Amino acid sequence: MRKKITLATFGGGCFWCTEAIFLEVKGVEKVVSGYAGGKAPGKPTYREVCSGLTGHAEVVQVSYDANVISYQDILAIFMTTHDPTQLNRQGADVGTQYRSVIFYHDTEQKHIAETVVKQLASSFDDAIVTEISPLTVFYPAEDHHQDYYRNHTEQAYCSFVITPKIMKLRALHAHQLKQ
């Protein structure tokens, strides 16, 4: 069967975490860490995005085979491996650059995202604050941010923040992971 490569773009805190999660998912071909949703002109740098002044969120752009995994399943994994009830933060990472956001690529993705968020709302004690917005421009992050977890698993942030999220992924979505 021919591959049907589709894009999904979202932010759930630090892009290193979200990238590490989706690199384990069956059907995912590529994950690129980057920035989206800002108002500042030109391609932002990590330092500029971290300042919170550009309006960009740290995001990942996931290229996946829609014949292997659906957009609904991609979103379910995204929504259950970060805390979509925290406004402008994930744990100790605080600021609008760490907001929970789904950037849709077309009206079908928008509709699916709205439906999935509504369906999952009862699974959380607090209200979901995940933003659903159109993707205007995606800027890939600097090279040293790509595949960060695999290249730096010994770092404290990776051990204490990312590894527990991967363990949660494996517990909740084992049937959707690469072998």
Please state, in angstroms and rounded to a whole number, the distance separating the CA atoms of residues 11 and 83.
11
**Strands in 4-130 per DSSP E:** 5-12, 28-36, 57-65, 89-90, 93-94, 100-104
> How many other C-beta atoms can be found within 10 angstroms of the C-beta atom of residue 28?
22
The alpha carbon of residue 111 and the mean position of all alpha carbons in its chain are separated, in whole angstroms, by: 18
| Contact call for residues 133 and 104 (beta carbons, < 8 A) | yes
Residues with a catalytic annotation lie at: 14
| Contact call for residues 140 and 32 (beta carbons, < 8 A) | yes
